[in-house]
Structures are given as structure tokens and as C-alpha cells.
Structure 1
Amino acid sequence: MSSAASQLDLEREKQLLKLFTQPVKLGLLYKGSIHGYKYNTLLNKFNEEGKCVIILYLVSGAVRGIYVNEKLSTGSQGSTDKGAFLFDVSKQGAAKYPVLDPSKAFACNYGNKGIALSTLQFGSAIELDAKDIRIVNFCSSDIIYTSTGWPTENTRTCEVELHRVQDVGHLIPDWRHLSWTVCERDSILEDILSFKSVGDALPRVRALLLGPAGAGKSSFIVSARSVMNKRVVHLPIVGKAINGFTKKLKTYEIGTRKGGAPTVLTLCDAMAVGHSDSPGLSLSDALAVIKGHVPEGYKFNFYTPISEKVTGHRTAPSLKEQVHCVLFVLNASELESYSSSLLSTLRELHSEISDLGIPQLILLTHIDKVCHAVHEDVKFVYSSRTLQETMEKAAELVHMPVSSVLPIKNYASEHAVNCNMDILILDAICHVLQAIDDMLEDQHPEDVHMVKEEPLRPL
């Protein structure tokens, strides 16, 4: 079927896929204008499949059809299918009419002695004519399906398609729990807003983003700000370059909308981590940033390591000038292609940072590119076996525990914020603040005291 393309446009396909309780994708098996509008051709392909949909494109522009969950068995008594349903789909939405009498969900009716074919029918709601399957009878008085609102007259279609329905994502029971609701999003946001520091020792906390080029470090900053602003913001810090787009050390406060209460978090963006094939941020320069020696706006130079000769170099940085958490940003779709030299650098960084007693987490980006279910909706992230295995791989690459891996999808092509994407991003920010809080309580109990109007939820 590589030469044939479905007539179903993207918007209608999205609406149709929403009718299924689990993530699925469609695979075109038959198209009347390609294979001919012959009953036997459609029937043979239909009978080979278990889960499939027949899509009927009416001359009027309407799109209707039927989903079946079982293989066809011939005979006028019909075939049993508890999962069958009719549908009527448009760009704005889709209507679903589940079967009322599963024992008569669909049937292939024959004439005398099984020779003269009559119809392929689904209750009385849809009947495809054996001589020309473009002739379709829609009946709204059918008692097998709840087909209220369907036209009653015989209708000629301009196209007929058969699609295989495939499960995607290899879903498993949730192994981490998040509630995918607007209330949950607002609750996590309130936790973050209520997280405050007091005293001059540490007015704000700083998290440094480290990772290879293209992993999504700058995009995470844009995404965090987008969540807080409740709209996708546009900052000139995101771009594409072989060795990474960011060349300077830049800090970004993560505040809320104009006039709103700011958060205590500052995100620090730096040059991409280098490896043998691509010069970039060196181990020594990364450690200099983490220890607080490097001034804001410093332009990194792979061939000239940071030293005390750098203008603005801090010889004895204060606690508030240091980095309080390091986030390794990794691209979920490129883990297998990371070079051994890059992995060696990341692992060495992890070891050196551990010696400094600074918490470390992994931001796993582009999760929608490794699992179709997650591509359709990020709420499946913790019920996707593929993502679970990818998170384990990411943890293994940096020699860190799986509990430190935070999967997210950055805002890239979207023009508006999405509740479920927001929840993942906010949950990651919440983990960052909790990790910093734990570190400060353990290492600086007398120098700084972090207080919250309401305590952060257990993570």
C-alpha cells in the first residue's frame, strides 16, 4: 500500500483516534479508487484482519464508518463483537455509536446456496451493496447500534477505505503516578510558587543545564516560562547549530505572568557539552560554572579554559553565586547514537559533581519521538514500556539511578500550552526544588533555611 494514501485528513484522523480507549494508529489496507470497488476484494482483506475500520467518504463531504474488534464469520445470524462501534467524524469532533447487541454486530449475508452475494452489513445501520460497494444504505432506525442522526436514504460514496487498527506503545500499568487534570497542574504550580527562601544567604536557587547539542536545554527554559505564563513564549535563545546554539553563560529567572508572584528558581544555560567529534563545554569549565567562578554573560571558548584572568572571575564565590542543582539534558531519541567520548565526559562530570555534594537529575527530552502513544498524549509516559526502558537507558548512560530521570516534552511546534505537557514540566521543576531543599538542609542547615507556606508534596 505504499503507493496509496488515505483520504482521511489529519484533523479528522485525530478526532477518530480519540474514540478509542487505548492509543492506536491506522494502517491503510484497501482503497476503492486503487483496488476497485469490488465486494470480494474488500471482503477478503476485511476477513484477514481482527481490528479494523471501514471509512466511507460521502459525496456530501461527511465521513462515516464502522470499527470492528473481531474477525468476520459469515452467515445471516451475524458475528459477535462487543467492541464494535459506528462513527461519524468531522474536523471539529467525532460521534461514537457503540453496539447495543454484540451478537449481531456485523454479518456477511449470502443468497441462495451461498452463491449470490447480497450485503456486508452492520446491524441495519450500514449496508454495503455487493455489486458496487459505493452504494451504501444508512439506516437511523437500526436497533443494533445507537445510530440516531444517521441519514436514512441510500447514499453513494465517493471513496471507501479499510484500515488496520494497531495498538501502540505497549502500555503497562502506571509505574509512576500523576493525575492528568487541570486541578493537578494548578496544585503543582501552587507548590512551586509557595517554595520560598529567606535571608540574604540564598535569595534564589540556581539549576544548571548540561548536555550535548540539540538535547533541548534552551527549549526547557522556554517551556518552563511558557507554563508559568500560560502561553507559549518566544525567546531568541533557541536555535540549531552543529556544536550547539548557546555560546554564553546566561541565567533566566522562572517567574509567573506579569504582576504574578515569581518563583525562587533560576535556570542557567551554558554551552553544549563537547566530545571528541564536537568541541564544546569542557569538564573544567563546567565545574568552574558550578562552583560560581564564572560571571554572567561569559562567552565560552573551547580552546581557552576559564581561569582567574577572565574578567569578572569570582575567586571566592558566595553560596548564592554557586549552582545548587545540575540537570543533565538528554535527547531520548538519540541515546543510542551518543559517542563513547560524550558518555565518558558526562560520567566524569557526574562523578566530580557528586564529590561537590550537589544534587543531579536527568531531564529526558523528545520523549514523543520514541513512543507513538506518548506522541499522541504525554499522559501515557508512565504507562509506556518503551519509555520505561528509555529512562532506564538514560540513567545507565550517566551512571545515575532511574529515580533521577525526569521525562518531559518541550514546547517546540505548539502555539498554545497543553495541560498534560505542563504537568510534566511542572513536576520536573518540583523535583529540582525538592532536591535543592534536601541538599541545603543536609549541608547548610545553619547558613540557609528554606521555608514554604505549604510544604511540597512528597516526591
Structure 2
Amino acid sequence: MMLLKCYSFMLTYVTFSLAYFSKPWRNVTENYRRDLDFVKSYQPRNKDVKHLQILLHGPVGSGKSSFINSVETVLKGRVTGRVLTDANSGSSFTEKYTAYKIQKDPGSFYSVIFNDIMGFEQNTKAGVDVEDVKLAMRGHVPDGYKFNPEVRFQKTDKDYKSSPTLEDRVHVLVCVIPAASVSRISEELMKKLREVRLAATEMGIPQLAILTKVDEACPEAKNYINETYRIKSLKEQVDQFSMLLGIPVNCIFLVKNYHSETNTNDDINVLILSALKQMICFGEDFLNNL
């Protein structure tokens, strides 16, 4: 019996060693409270804007809407679900271009706005059109616009913003991809993601990526979410996505959105907050460099 227990322990140790780095390849817990205070107190220094505009884009079902809910959960300290999601939809559940403010108190909002957009699909006649995403980045698409995959948004459209202000424009572009899907991204989808990235680069818009659903991609992350940045398989997904899309590794973040939880969890919050803080820092740099 003693020998069996010893063997079991050794097997567990070897499995752990193979699956994990000896230390995190990115430390996201060290300044958690300070980072939370930074996010909550952030205000753009550029007086031409009141809110930092962050656009989330990516394939259908990647977790864009859930990420917005998760950010709101972190800032409010309770699980929220204001942005509607659908786990069973095979097509984009988000049909309208929607700007989400997060309420700080009854009389004010946080200085970050998340813009949710229809997801990309494999079918060229379904999902958001790349050209519509480009117009959104330039500030031409109004809040509430309902996308039509078969008809692009045009200058002649009555809702078209012909003279967008800096406040209307996107200040940070974030690509959202499920961690388990990185190795299965089709050539057609990657072409769309690359085209959006290149357009954002021409506009000078900083870009980041978040790999969501890490708990679904890796059983180790599901059981030990606090070890996410030590898990080798997740680091491999980050490296692979960096090579595919060209986004540097230090601009790619691992995230678990709130999904089945009814209470907040500091380990989940840390991952979300790490990504959010960098979005704000990149956006602030963009506004100050104009």
C-alpha cells in the first residue's frame, strides 16, 4: 500500500512538471489591488475625449460580450450579465453595434467604453463585413446600428457619421479568440483578422488580443485557474497565435470569462484586470500621441 501511494505521488509530480513551468511566464498577481485602483480611477488626459473607446472583434462565439460582462463584474464586485449572450447560437448573437458604459455610481460612469460588434463567420455572406469593422474603427458607425452581412454600411446611409470626432473613433482594438480554437483558425477567418489588423495599423490604433475560455482549452486551467500563466499548453497557444496574426506575445492575454459562477473569484479577476489595464495603457498612449 505504501509503495502504491509513493508511485501515485511520483506520477502526479511528473505530470505536474510536464504540464507546468516552474514559475509563471507572466506575473499578473503582484500588483492586483494597485491595478484595480488604477482602472477604477482612470480618466483620459486628452481633453478632447471623455471615454476611452475599445473595440472588441473576433469570430462568432469567441466571448466578446462575455468579456464585457466580466469586466463589469470585476469593477462592480458582483456577477453581472447586462450584455446578452447565447451559448447555443451557431451564428453571431450580437447583431447591433453597441457601446457599453459601465456605471460607477448613480451619477457617473467609468471612463472606458466597450464597443461590441457582430462576429466574423466562415461564410462570406454571414457575420460582420471587414469593411464595416474598418468604418467602425474610424468612427463612422453609430451606436445601435444593425449590421446586414449582405449589404455593407455606406456613406449614403442615413446613419453614417460623415465627420466623426476623436471621441467617436476607436482608440484600442482587441481581437478575441477562444484559446482552444487557435490551432483551428481557418485561412478565411485569419485573412479577415489580418485585414482588420493591417487597417488598424494604418490608423495608428494599438492592438491587443485576449485568448478566452482557458478553462475549456485546458483541464489544468479549469482546476487551477490561478496557475494559468504557468501552463505550458496555454503558452503554446499564445505563441502560435502571435505567429499567425503578428501580435507580439506581450500584447496577448489569457482570460477566463465569468460563465457559470454566481460569485466573484479573485483568480478570475486577476486575469481580466491584467488585460484591461494594458488596454487602458495602450489607449492612453494613443490619445496622448495624437
TM-score (norm 1): 0.59
- Tell me the residue number matched to 2:90: 242
Corresponding letter in the other structure for 1:201: D
Q: How does 1:245-324 map to 2 (within 5 A)?
A: 245-256=93-104, 258-259=105-106, 262-276=109-123, 279-324=126-171
Name the CA distance, whole Å, in 2 between partners of 1:207 and 1:308: 23
Residue 19 of structure 2, aligned match among 167, 170, 181: 170
Select the structure that is richer in helix.
2
Name the CA distance, whole Å, in 1 between partners of 2:125 and 2:152: 16
Q: 8 Å contact 1:276–1:342 — kept in the other structure? A: no
Name the CA distance, whole Å, in 1 between partners of 2:7 and 2:12: 5
Deviation of 1:420 after TM superposition, in Å, equals: 1.1
Deviation of 1:275 after TM superposition, in Å, equals: 2.9
* Deviations 1:205-253, CA, capped at 9 Å, x for gaps: 1000000001000000110111111111122521132121100000101
The reply to whether residue 370 of structure 1 matches residue 217 of structure 2 is yes
Deviation of 1:386 after TM superposition, in Å, equals: 1.2
Name the CA distance, whole Å, in 1 between partners of 2:246 and 2:83: 33
The reply to whether residue 331 of structure 1 matches residue 181 of structure 2 is no
The reply to whether residue 386 of structure 1 matches residue 233 of structure 2 is yes
RMSD (CA atoms): 2.1
* Deviations 1:365-405, CA, capped at 9 Å, x for gaps: 01112222221222212211111111111222212111110
* Deviations 1:37-63, CA, capped at 9 Å, x for gaps: xxxxxx5xx7567443xxxxxxxxxxx
TM-score (norm 2): 0.91
Q: 8 Å contact 2:210–2:252 — kept in the other structure? A: yes
Structure 2 unmatched ranges of 5 or more: none
Q: How does 1:84-99 map to 2 (within 5 A)?
A: none
Q: How does 1:31-430 map to 2 (within 5 A)?
A: 47=3, 50-52=6-8, 69=9, 165=12, 167-168=15-16, 170-172=19-21, 173-179=23-29, 184-197=31-44, 201-240=48-87, 241-256=89-104, 258-259=105-106, 262-276=109-123, 279-430=126-277
Corresponding letter in the other structure for 1:333: A
Q: 8 Å contact 1:228–1:255 — kept in the other structure? A: no
Deviation of 1:194 after TM superposition, in Å, equals: 2.2
Distance 1:324 1:420, change over 3 A: same
Give the number of aligned pairs: 286
Q: 8 Å contact 2:56–2:117 — kept in the other structure? A: yes
Q: 8 Å contact 1:332–1:394 — kept in the other structure? A: no
Deviation of 1:259 after TM superposition, in Å, equals: 4.4
Q: 8 Å contact 2:99–2:113 — kept in the other structure? A: yes
Select the structure that is richer in strand.
1
Deviation of 1:339 after TM superposition, in Å, equals: 1.2
Name the CA distance, whole Å, in 1 between partners of 2:185 and 2:178: 10
Corresponding letter in the other structure for 2:54: A
